[in-house]
Structures are given as C-alpha cells and as structure tokens.
Amino acid sequence: MIWPVLSVLLLIMMGLGLAVAVLERWHLGDGLYFAFVTGLTIGYGDLVPKRPLSRACAVTIGLAGILLVGLVTAVAVQALQRAPALRALGPKANSVGMDDKRRCILRLLCSCPTRPNLLRKALS
C-alpha cells in the first residue's frame, strides 16, 4: 500500500524538477537536483527559478516533499511500534509452520504493541 503512494510522490517531484529545468533552461540533472533539494526542504539557493511558472512548480515540489517526508516518518514510527510485539514472540514470529489461527492473532495484536503479554498468551 505504501509503494504506490511513495512512487507517485517521487514521480511528481522528478517530473516537476524536469519541467523547471526545461523552463529555466538548466541541465536536466540540475532540475532533478533542484527538485530533491527543494522537496527535502534543504534549499541551498544555488539554483533559483526566475519564471512564475517555475516558481509555482517549486512550491508544488516543496509540498510533495513534505508529504514524502511525512510518509517515510509514519512508516518508520509504525515499524518501531511493532518491534516490541514481534520481539516478545521470539523465534515464533518468523516461523514458517505457524498455523493460520496464530498468524491471525499475531496480525491483530501486532497492531497494538503495548500488549506483549497478551501476545505471548495468545501464541502459547
């Protein structure tokens, strides 16, 4: 579910960066560089769009970059929240022989990482 959204955001940023490069008569590599420096809100200032349409594209690149950073952060937080529940399972977490009932319980309880004791009881 995450990859389509991530891919679309990256494509938007790249496409707009290339559009800015064409509008400003920069090298295409400079346009991609500009897109990611702007999208990640670094903004070195070495490349500055002058035309109004290029500036509008830059604002859109910045907004897409904020969404991209938020998305990556949300995925990282979710992974960190699930880690204690999976650690509580020990080697059973990756067991190929785990039956469907235990897998279902695992999926349900992994969404609530503050309850590792329930997880242990359910899988014992």
Q: How far apart are CA 46 and CA 109, in angstroms?
A: 49
CA–CA dist 68, 55 (Å, integer) = 20
Q: What is the pLDDT of residues 55-113, one digit of tens each?
A: 999 999 999 999 999 999 999 998 888 777 666 666 555 555 556 666 666 666 666 55
Six-digit token pair at 59?
A: 């604002």
Domains and CATH numbers, the chain: 2-123 (1.10.287.70)
Condensed to tens digits (0 to 9), the pLDDT of residues 6-42 reads 999 999 999 999 999 999 999 999 999 999 999 999 9
- Amino acid at site 51: R
Give 76-84 contacts, CB < 8 A, sequence gap 24+.
81/113, 82/110, 82/111, 82/113, 83/113, 84/113, 84/116
